[in-house]
Chain A
Amino acid sequence: MAVETAPNPTAYDSTQDYNALQNPHALRSIDPGQEGWGPTTEIDTNLKPTDELLPVVAPETNPTEQVGRHRVAGNTAPDYSATEVVNKYRSEHAAFIDRYHTEAGPRNPDRFITRMGLKIGQFAERMAERRTVKQTIAETTRKGLDIATKVGGSIMKEVKLLGADTKANAKEIGGTVKTIKNESVEAVKSRWQKRAEAAQERRQTRRQQRDQARAELRDLTQQRKEASRAVWQKRREIAGQKLETVNKAAKTVGKSALIGAGVVVGLPIAAAAVGTYYGVKGGVALDAKLANLDGKAIRGGVALDAKLAQLDSKVIGKGLDLDAAVSRWVASKGRKAVSYAGTTAKVNKAAYHYVMSGRHERKAAEHRGKLN
């Protein structure tokens, strides 16, 4: 009885069997008396990887002793150890095992199937794509040829190479059917061949002229682009130069010179730039003037303050506290006194004299006495 042990990945779950090949102890997974899959006691050296595996039954008795040993149910042939089975299987089917290892990775033939399935699927998909592309090309080409044929046929009718009266007209067009009496077949062939050569030369010339015309058109287009680019470049350069001139002028001769020069009129970009520059420059100048003014004002202020300070110091230098004196005087005179003085200056003056006369001390004392 030939017992087939080679796993057929398409016919069963080969993982278990394959694991058994890799690890004989995996045979323990077959319960006693139950069907399972695994290497058997007999090895058919003619096995093929695609052969179907037959079910085997684990020994019903002494399962412990039978661990690692296997036999086909009903088979009386001597048992072999699982290791022997595996080793023999490996030696006989090394190529198949290697294929599992190399293409699917160890112990996972299902993955191989999956991968093959994907490969087949991808291949089929690509083939379908190619068919589609080829079909599209073919259809396009066919359509193109049909169009060409239609146009060609239409033109041939136009030159009367086709149609009811073409024969007579064809003679007029090129004498294409003109025959010479008693002309040999070879002579006729030679005549047509020479005509064909001349026609090919003309066709070649025509195509060259077409290519040349297209090239010239491309060159012309390119030249126009370059010329346009050059014009713009020149304009930018001019604008840049004018702007540079403006900047220099602005830096050297200042705002008035710029206005006097009246530059960059009609050149929007430069004008805008100049306007900005002008504005900035003017602003700077204005700020400077304001700064100067401020400076003067400050200096004036300082001077004023200094004068006031000097005045104050004079007053202070005389040992008099003007503010205190005025306050006292105003306080002593009351609102009527202020009102009488009329102005602050008068008040100040009156206060000054009042203080300088020394009367304020006396008056103040009197005032304090009254208050008291």
Chain B
Amino acid sequence: MILDKTTLSSLGINLSDTEAKAFIEHFEETLQQRVGLEIFNLLDDEKAQELVALQESADEKTINEWVKAHVPDYEAVVQDEFDILMGEVADNAELVAA
């Protein structure tokens, strides 16, 4: 996983294995959500509707090909959302660790 217990520790967040696992899962889900929302935000209404319809019927490969075609800088989107979320974790490290 992209975020692990070591990374959390480097931010001063020392959690038990169970807590760390739950937090990382929450982190990943949040990140996936934000990446998806940002991708939708970058699409016009017509394309967004198209993607909604596609994700209901197509497999991941098809969805990814579609996103690549319509959001050329999708990798940068993912990277930035990850960095932003990590920044938020850093900002709230003490609360998370408490």
Binding site for B on A (CB under 8 A): 145, 147-159, 161-162, 166-167, 170, 173-174, 176-177, 179, 183, 185, 188-190, 192-193, 195-200, 202-203, 206-207, 210, 214, 217
Main SS class of interface, B: helix
B18 beta carbon closer than 8 Å to chain A: no
B40 and A196: CB pair below 8 A? no
Tell me whether chain A's interface is mostly helix, strand or loop, or mixed: helix
Q: Is the CB of B89 closer than 8 A to any CB of chain A? A: yes
Interchain CB contact (< 8 A) of B81 among A157, A158, A198, A199: A199
The chain A residue sitting closest to B78, CB to CB, is A159
Asked whether A203 lies within 8 Å of B32 as measured between CB atoms, the reply is: no
Is there contact, CB below 8 Å, between A151 and B79?
no
List B2-26 residues whose CB lies under 8 Å from chain A. 2-4, 6-7, 10-12
* Residue of B37, B41, B67, B88 touching A210 (CB-CB under 8 A): B41
A12 to chain B, nearest CB (A): 60
Report yes or no: A166 in contact with B10, Cβ–Cβ below 8 A.
no
- CB within 8 Å for A193 and B87 given contacts A152-B31, A177-B2, A188-B11: yes
Q: Known: A152-B37, A170-B2. Is A158-B64 also a contact (CB below 8 A)?
A: yes
Question: CB distance A149 to B38 under 8 Å?
Answer: no
Q: Note all chain A residues with C-beta closer than 8 A to B51.
A: 151
Q: Given A155-B35, A161-B82, list of 18 further CB < 8 A pairs? A: A147-B36, A148-B32, A149-B36, A151-B63, A152-B31, A152-B36, A152-B37, A155-B77, A161-B2, A166-B1, A166-B2, A192-B86, A197-B87, A198-B83, A200-B84, A202-B80, A207-B42, A217-B44
